[in-house]
Chain A
Amino acid sequence: MEQKSRIVSPVVWQLLSFVLFFGLWEVAGRWPISFAFPPFSKTFMALIRMIADGSLPKAYLSTLQPLVIGIFFCSIAGIGFGVGMGLSRTIEWFSLPVFIVLQAAPMAAIIPLLTYMYGIGLTSKVLAVVVLAAPVIVMNSYKGIRNTNPSLIQMCRAFLGTRRQEVIKIILPHAAALIFAGLRLGLAMGFIGIVIAELLITPTGIGDLITYHSSVADYPEMFAAIASIIMLAALTIHALERLERRLFPPEIRET
């Protein structure tokens, strides 16, 4: 058994899983049930066409803009807030309930409110990304700080370390892995946020491609747009996950 799995590398199995999935998609698409569900081959051709005529790259240029701004803002303010909540009881007292509610609330319901307050421009789309991504980034940073091994803090105090040294040399390195994991989860939420925003607020970028092609019944193009954003999100999150494992190998994290 062991020898066999050594010969067939995991990459082969992963490729096989893709082949199986796309194969089933092809068969399902050719089944004459719904005209609105194109087979894989047609979708793939549509994807190539959309890349070639520049409509897909152009759409991503406008989709990624609010996503990048939103995530950038969240990673600075969100981590700052989370760390602050972890370090100070006062900040924790008045902001923890808000973030717990935000984390549980169905955020898509807030988006019409954002449109009402901030219009249909970039601001509401950035905010849509922020309201979805911020809670998980803040909560992870907060938990990372709070879960610091008390023994390590006492060790620092026993060596007459200052509070500043305690934070910089013990608490922050200790929380780094969880904070990074929060960023990764936040980015995943950000992708959800931006697609919801583009579908609910005003169709721009990838949301526009999806709505437009669906309204003129170009189903392969519509599916290609959907598949492309799923692919992009999956690849980005996967890359971040690998980076996370390199930066913070599980064995040097506190158990």
Chain B
Amino acid sequence: MSADTIVQIKEVRKIYDGGVEALTDVSLGLPRGRLSTLLGPAGAVRQRSSKIIAGLISPTSGEVWVKGKKVDGPGPERAFVFQDFALLPWANVLRNVAFGLELRGTSKEQRFEVARKHIAEVGLSSFESSYPHQLSGACAKGSGSLAPWQSMPILS
């Protein structure tokens, strides 16, 4: 593994229970400090591949290495933005954004303070107490992607 590769995928294969082979011996490296994009038509398992890197799905065979460590589950150094935003429908924007910190046991004042700061940065302050169903797609996406940002450092 070269020094400037941060994510190394080694011969990853993913076969689903029904026998569908989604990934066949995929190997690739993602460079450090760069924005990498996975392109492909619908059904090209882009989301699934990223979930394998995130450690949310385990590959049938093969390995994923991040920062020189083998991935065997989700880790604090990897953040994940869900395609459907994964917002709690019964919680407002503030609680949704602070949810990662809530799971870590951060106190309410502290996590809300952090969340408010990040919400303000993307200009969604006036939506703090709105629920996901009241948001437009763009706002929902904003809150959905903020949630991971503030609780974990992004891959760097």
Contacts and interface: CB of A to CB of B under 8 A. Distances in A.
Given A151-B86, A152-B88, A158 B133 contact: no
B76 interface: yes
B86 A157 contact: no
Contact of B56 (A154, A165, A254): A154
A158 B131 contact: no
B131 A251 contact: yes
Interface in B58-100: 73-76, 78-80, 82-84, 86, 88-90, 99-100
Interface in A147-164: 149, 151-152, 154-161
A251 B51 contact: no
Count chain B CB atoms within 10 A of each CB in A152, A159, A170, A252 and give the residue with the most: A159
Interface residues of B, number: 29
Contact of B76 (A155, A160, A173, A174): A160
Given A151-B86, A252-B90, A159 B56 contact: no
Given A151-B84, A251-B131, A158 B54 contact: yes
A155 B81 CA distance: 9
B89 A155 contact: no
A195 B43 CA distance: 55
A159 B131 contact: no
A157 B79 CA distance: 11
Contacts of A154: 51, 56, 80, 82, 86
Interface in B24-53: 51
Contacts of B131: 251-252
B103 A160 contact: yes
B64 to A, nearest CB: 15
Determine the interface band of chain A, counting residues with CB < 8 A from chain B: 20 to 34
B12 to A, nearest CB: 18
A159 B90 contact: no
A173 B95 CA distance: 14
A184 to B, nearest CB: 19
Interface in A230-255: 251-255
A169 B103 contact: yes
Given A151-B84, A155-B82, A252 B74 contact: no
B90 A160 contact: no
Interface string A117-156: 0000000000000000000000000000000010110111
A173 B90 contact: yes
B74 A253 contact: no
Contacts of A252: 89-90, 131, 133
A157 B133 contact: no
Contacts of B99: 155, 159, 169
B102 interface: yes
B54 to A, nearest CB: 6
Nearest first, the 10 closest Cβ-Cβ pairs linking A and B are A155-B86, A161-B103, A159-B100, A151-B86, A251-B133, A158-B80, A252-B90, A159-B103, A154-B56, A158-B74
Interface of B: 51, 54, 56, 73-76, 78-80, 82-84, 86, 88-90, 99-100, 102-104, 131, 133-134, 147-148, 151-152
Interface of A: 149, 151-152, 154-161, 165, 169-170, 173-174, 251-255
Given A151-B82, A158-B148, A255-B89, 6 more contacts: A151-B86, A152-B88, A154-B80, A157-B74, A158-B54, A170-B88
